[in-house]
Homo-oligomer: A and B are copies of this chain.
């Protein structure tokens, strides 16, 4: 089962970065894979003081739908995942809370993305959102019972982070 990486070369594709990775496969053959260079990212399952889940209602250009998503985003350079999680959460929602790190997860077999999953409890609003020019986010607080149904419906892109967070908090 040993794969051996021979070389890799990054290239740009529109706004995206890809990496052409060349491997020697266990059967000796040489094969190229175009891997998505993405992340690292953070994602936050946030509970208000009343135990409602704090969600970010926003349009998503991949599925072309308005989704009720967990807050989150990319980790900036010179920033720890925890700092990124607190920053993204405050920017997107205007809320703060008590953060705990749940664990890492992997997004895709063909992406470099590592996701750092957090929970935040006792969340409450302290200021207005600070959104980027192309962000249009409406905050929605949803009861845990409704949120569990929302998860089963599959209409969000952070399902793994949500389940990992609920599991961590023993709220499954």
Residues of A within 8 A of B (CB): 1, 3, 5, 11, 13-16, 18, 20-21, 23, 25-27, 29, 31-36, 57-67, 69, 103-115, 117, 133-134, 136, 138, 151-157, 159-160, 163-164, 167-168, 172
Chain B contacts for A107, CB-based, 8 A: 107-108, 157
- Whether the Cβ atoms of B57 and A154 lie closer than 8 Å is no
Q: What is the CA–CA distance of A160 and B152 in the complex, to the nearest angstrom?
A: 10
- Whether the Cβ atoms of B61 and A23 lie closer than 8 Å is yes
Q: What is the CA–CA distance of A104 and B151 in the complex, to the nearest angstrom?
A: 11
Instruction: With both chains docked as a complex, state the minimum distance between the C-beta of A164 and any C-beta of chain B, in angstroms.
Output: 7
Instruction: With both chains docked as a complex, state the minimum distance between the C-beta of A171 and any C-beta of chain B, in angstroms.
Output: 11
Chain B contacts for A138, CB-based, 8 A: 1
CB closest chain-B residue, reference A137? B1
Q: What is the CA–CA distance of A60 and B113 in the complex, to the nearest angstrom?
A: 12
Top 4 A-B pairs, shortest CB-CB distance:
A13-B13, A105-B154, A159-B160, A163-B163
Instruction: With both chains docked as a complex, state the minimum distance between the C-beta of A18 and any C-beta of chain B, in angstroms.
Output: 6
Q: Which one of A58, A103, A111, A113 has the highest number of Cβ atoms from chain B below 10 Å of its Cβ? A: A111
Q: What is the CA–CA distance of A23 and B153 in the complex, to the nearest angstrom?
A: 27
- Whether the Cβ atoms of A106 and B152 lie closer than 8 Å is no
Contacts A25-B134, A107-B108 known; list 19 others, CB within 8 Å: A13-B14, A13-B16, A15-B34, A16-B36, A29-B134, A35-B62, A36-B62, A60-B106, A60-B110, A63-B106, A63-B111, A67-B109, A103-B152, A104-B154, A106-B157, A107-B157, A108-B108, A152-B164, A160-B160
Instruction: With both chains docked as a complex, state the minimum distance between the C-beta of A49 and any C-beta of chain B, in angstroms.
Output: 26
